[in-house]
């Protein structure tokens, strides 16, 4: 007679039993959160969430773009006819040549050229002084280093009005009125640039600095070959900040010049508005033309701005 050789199936031991621990059969097994199956999100809820997000973003976009639309509308519309029509939300009696008249008749082109020169000098000087000073505060050791840094940052608390009279007297004594040096001299260095770039340099590992010294890198070579390329996002953000500050200057050019030929773009915009009360759209058109370099700069440096503003915000 044949015998049944089938052996009973062995039950796999649990991880606790394999580790030699005593398992109480009356105690339920621990719940594994990693293997838990999340219930699927309904398509209707996804659609509602997406639609709400787009509606909020659209509303915010309208709020931001509406003043720009009104500026363009007022620039293209004939001032008297637009007011007579009750100031509607659409252009009235469009004047397409208003931008050419603002650029030529109001001498905006000459003022923008001067502002470009002044802004270029200020941005280059601030970038150079900020990078060198930030490197010193980040990597070098010298007496009273912390005190010097506190004094530099303390200058941010001083508005331009505090030093305005003293700076004007110095410019007059140096005979620098109505000149590019007179328009740029007080702004060749800035504490905000030193602070921002120093923070970027502090994020560079010390081991990298030590390795560069072993490779024979001096201070300037390490600065231009390693430190600046690794901090280009913050440096790009600072370039935008410096450009905006120099291009939008109004108070200092009013005191550093007394001739119409030396008016910068912001002073020229004020002059256009006051000298042409019957052509208000000329001032609006001039403001749009003057803002185009800023718009181009923001588009060109948009990635650096985002990276620079978020640098160091997330660890790991």
How confident is the prediction for the chain on average, in pLDDT? Answer: 82
Answer whether residue 305 shows pLDDT above 50: yes
Distances (CA, A) of 220 to 139, 217, 236, 281: 12, 8, 20, 52
Burial class (CB in 10 A: 0-12, 13-18, 19+), 294: middle
What whole-number distance in Å separates Cα of residue 285 and Cα of residue 269?
10
Beta bridge partners of 77: 94
Query: How far apart, in whole angstroms, are the C-alpha atoms of residue 221 and residue 211?
Result: 13
Look at residue 226 and give its three-state secondary structure: helix
> Taking residues 85-102, what's their average pLDDT?
85
| 277/33 Cα distance (integer angstroms) | 72
Compare 151 and 271 and report the one with higher pLDDT. Answer: 151
Architecture category of domain 105-310 in CATH? Orthogonal Bundle (1.10)
Q: Where are the domains of the chain?
A: 43-84, 105-310
Q: How many CB atoms within 10 Å of residue 59?
A: 10
pLDDT value at residue 314: 47
Predicted confidence (pLDDT) at residue 184 exceeds the cutoff of 90: yes
Report H helices in 79-144.
Answer: 79-84, 98-104, 108-139
Provide the 8-state DSSP code for 274: H
Q: How confident is the model at residue 95 (pLDDT cuts 50, 70, 90)?
A: confident
Q: What is the mean pLDDT of residues 283-304?
A: 85
Can you give the pLDDT at residue 118? 95
Beta bridge partners of 210: none
Which letter does DSSP use for residue 32 in this model? -
Q: Looking at 140-155, list the stretches that DSSP marks H as alpha helix, in order from N- to C-terminal side.
A: 145-154
Do the beta carbons of residue 231 and residue 164 sit within 8 Å? no
Q: What would the pLDDT profile of 203-247 be if each residue is shown by its tens digit?
A: 888 888 888 888 888 888 998 888 888 888 889 889 989 999 999
- Residues 14-54 have pLDDT tens digits of 554 455 555 555 555 555 555 455 555 567 788 888 999 99
Q: What angle do CA 154, 156, 160 make, to 5 degrees?
A: 125
Contacting residues for 208 by C-beta, under 8 A, at least 6 apart: 226
Asked if 231 and 200 count as a contact pair (C-beta separation under 8 A), the reply is yes
> DSSP assignment of 24-84, as one string?
-TTSPPPP-STTPPPPPPPHHHHHHHHHHHHHHHHHHHHHHHHHHHHHHHHHHB-HHHHHH
């Amino acid at each position: 007679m044949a015998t049944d050789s089938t052996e009973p199936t062995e039950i796999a031991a649990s991880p606790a039993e394999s580790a030699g621990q005593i398992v109480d059969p009356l105690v339920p097994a621990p719940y594994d959160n990693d293997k838990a199956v999340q219930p699927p999100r309904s398509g209707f809820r996804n659609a509602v969430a997406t639609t709400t997000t787009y509606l909020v973003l659209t509303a915010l976009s309208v709020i931001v773009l509406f003043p720009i639309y009104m500026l363009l509308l007022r620039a293209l519309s004939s001032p008297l006819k637009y007011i007579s029509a009750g100031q509607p939300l659409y252009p009235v009696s469009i004047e397409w040549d208003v931008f050419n008249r603002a650029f030529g008749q109001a001498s905006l082109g000459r003022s923008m050229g001067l502002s470009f020169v002044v802004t270029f000098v200020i941005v280059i000087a601030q970038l150079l002084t900020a990078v060198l000073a930030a490197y010193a505060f980040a990597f070098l050791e010298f007496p009273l280093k912390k005190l010097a840094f506190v004094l530099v940052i303390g200058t941010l608390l001083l508005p331009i009005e505090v030093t305005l009279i003293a700076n004007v007297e110095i410019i007059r004594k140096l005979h620098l009125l109505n000149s590019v040096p007179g328009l740029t001299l007080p702004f060749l260095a800035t504490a905000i640039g030193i602070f921002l770039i120093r923070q970027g340099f502090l994020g560079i590992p010390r081991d990298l600095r030590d390795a560069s010294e072993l490779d024979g890198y001096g201070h300037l070579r390490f600065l231009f070959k390693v430190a600046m390329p690794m901090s280009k996002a913050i440096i790009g953000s600072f370039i935008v900040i410096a450009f905006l500050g120099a291009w939008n200057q109004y108070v200092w050019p009013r005191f550093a010049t007394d001739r119409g030929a030396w008016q910068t773009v912001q002073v020229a915009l004020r002059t256009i508005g006051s000298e042409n009360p019957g052509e208000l759209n000329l001032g609006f058109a001039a403001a749009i033309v003057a803002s185009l370099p800023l718009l181009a700069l923001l588009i060109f440096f948009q990635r650096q701005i985002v990276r620079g503003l978020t640098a160091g915000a997330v660890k790991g």
